[in-house]
Amino acid sequence: MNIDILKYKWQKLLEPFMVELSVSQQIFCDLVAAYSTVGRFYHTIEHIHQVLETLEDLKLVAIDFSVIQLAAWFHDVIYDPKSQDNEEKSAEYAEVVLTELAIPLATIVRVKTLILSTKTHQSPLDDIDCQILLDADLAILGAAKSEYKAYSRAIRQEYSWVPDREYRWGRKQVLDKFLQRNKIYYTSELFLALEKRARHNLEEEIGDLGACVSQFA
């Protein structure tokens, strides 16, 4: 990941909104700092970079690509694995920053909606922009084996405070929910490219976690 290229992408994203370059650069520094806080191993600026890269592959089917990009930048800006309201706080953070930048209210409302959708990774069937963001956020599930294993290790590090037995049980519940879906990916592009490998990765990790019938088994 080249941080200068990432900064350039951020500045280009804000150009249509007539945001001053100095202000844009300061917000970028704030975002990088937020994604570099202690305790982050997966939810870092590298994750944002990966999401943005995946979004480029889905640009042609998007309705409002700038909304999706803005949501991607802010969707994990607040992240505390011990908290249950990270998405809500991230949406609020985005609202404050984007309001200060004089971004149109309609855009801010949509950005918040997309950020909040990452809490459940469920999208309305008629909201392609939401589906695009969620698919990009979950693209890691369909990554090559080595990359996926690095991701799963990073998630474990973020939950290092959770006892191993409890973590295995909780992680299995999360992975099972994705496997139970008819489709992990909404867009035909990512479904065709990643669905099969994602299911294989999830099944393999569940096997590694071991059979946990109940939290207290």
pLDDT digit string (tens) for 95-145? 999 999 999 999 999 999 999 999 999 999 999 999 999 999 999 999 999
Checking if the pLDDT of 214 tops 50, the result is: no
Is the C-alpha dihedral spanning 178, 32, 89, 68 positive or negative?
negative
DSSP, residue by residue, 125-152: TT-HHHHHHHHHHTGGGGS-HHHHHHHH
pTM of the shown model: 0.95
For the chain, list the domains and their CATH numbers.
1-137 (1.10.3210), 144-217 (no CATH)
Instruction: For residue 199, give Cα distances in angstroms to 86, 99, 206.
Output: 26, 40, 11
Q: How many residues does the chain have?
A: 217
202's tokens: 């999830």
CA distance 137 to 141: 9
What's the 3-state SS for 166-201?
A: HHHHHHHHHHHHHHCCCCCCCCHHHHHHHHHHHHHH
Q: What are the φ and ψ backbone dihedral angles of 72, each rounded to 5 degrees?
A: -60, -45
Nearest to 15 by CA among 26, 7, 24: 24
pLDDT digit string (tens) for 12-67? 999 999 999 999 999 999 999 999 999 999 999 999 999 999 999 999 999 999 99
